[in-house]
């Protein structure tokens, strides 16, 4: 008797492929569900605004005032970013723990905010800024000294404690306060 022509086992291949695809869908769905519960996929507003999603209860009154100025009144976040992201070498510089703002004494930061920069920021712009990068605007006509103090208080909340300590030491050395 002649052997029948062997049919390929397509039904088993199809079932295995279907099982694999369903398995991938289940794993990805569970990952997305877990990620959303852990806040890995924080919603970004349609306007593209950068938000600080940390609880308001962790801020002092001055820091909350600074936060409002940082995001609304002076819109610092549009160039300098929020509490996460960025890099030490970004231009304009990030003010969070990934940036280098904490390396500068408070008196210098106040001068930069009031006047829109100084010799150091001009040199930085010349060497680091990409073509068409925004230039720091002076805020002396828009922000009071108390407003500037509040903004700097808020910016410090984005730093690690060792960065806050280092900046306080640099401030003491160069500003005498």
- Give domain status of residue 99, yes or no: yes
Place of tokens 């712009």: 125
Burial class (CB in 10 A: 0-12, 13-18, 19+), 3: exposed
Instruction: Give the residue-averaged pLDDT of 65-90.
Output: 91
pLDDT tens-place string over residues 40-60 = 554 444 344 567 889 999 999
- Give domain status of residue 49, yes or no: no
Q: What is the mean pLDDT of the chain?
A: 85
pLDDT over 70 at 6, yes or no: no
- Give domain status of residue 80, yes or no: yes
Q: Any idea what the Cα angle at residue 166 is, between residues 162 and 172, rounded to 5°?
A: 145
As given in the structure block, the two tokens for residue 27 are: 């794993």
Which range of 49-53, 83-87, 105-109, 117-121 scores highest in mean pLDDT? It is: 105-109
Structural domain harbouring 62: 56-132+142-175
DSSP assigned state of 58: G
- Give domain status of residue 82, yes or no: yes
- Give domain status of residue 13, yes or no: no
- Give domain status of residue 160, yes or no: yes
pLDDT over 90 at 139, yes or no: yes
- Give domain status of residue 169, yes or no: yes
Instruction: Give the residue-averaged pLDDT of 108-137.
Output: 89
- Give domain status of residue 20, yes or no: no
pLDDT over 90 at 144, yes or no: yes
Name the helix (H) or strand (E) containing 35.
Answer: helix 10-37
Give me the number of domains the chain comprises.
1
Confidence grade of residue 33 (pLDDT, cut at 50, 70, 90): confident
Is the separation of the CB atoms in 86 and 79 below 8 Å? Answer: no
């Amino acid at each position: 008797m002649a052997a029948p022509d062997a049919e390929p086992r397509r039904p088993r291949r199809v079932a295995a492929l279907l099982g694999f695809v369903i398995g991938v869908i289940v794993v990805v769905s569970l990952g997305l569900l877990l990620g959303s519960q852990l806040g890995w996929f924080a919603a970004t507003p349609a306007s593209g605004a950068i938000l600080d999603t940390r609880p308001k209860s962790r801020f002092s009154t001055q820091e909350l005032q600074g936060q409002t100025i940082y995001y609304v009144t002076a819109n610092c976040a549009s160039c300098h970013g929020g509490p996460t992201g960025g890099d030490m070498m970004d231009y304009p510089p990030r003010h969070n723990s990934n940036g280098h703002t904490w390396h500068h004494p408070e008196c210098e930061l106040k001068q930069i905010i009031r006047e829109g920069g100084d010799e150091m920021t001009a040199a930085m712009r010349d060497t680091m800024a990409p073509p068409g990068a925004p230039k720091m605007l002076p805020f002396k006509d828009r922000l009071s000294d108390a407003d500037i103090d509040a903004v700097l208080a808020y910016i410090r909340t984005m730093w690690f404690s060792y960065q806050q300590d280092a900046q306080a030491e640099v401030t003491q050395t160069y500003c005498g306060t």
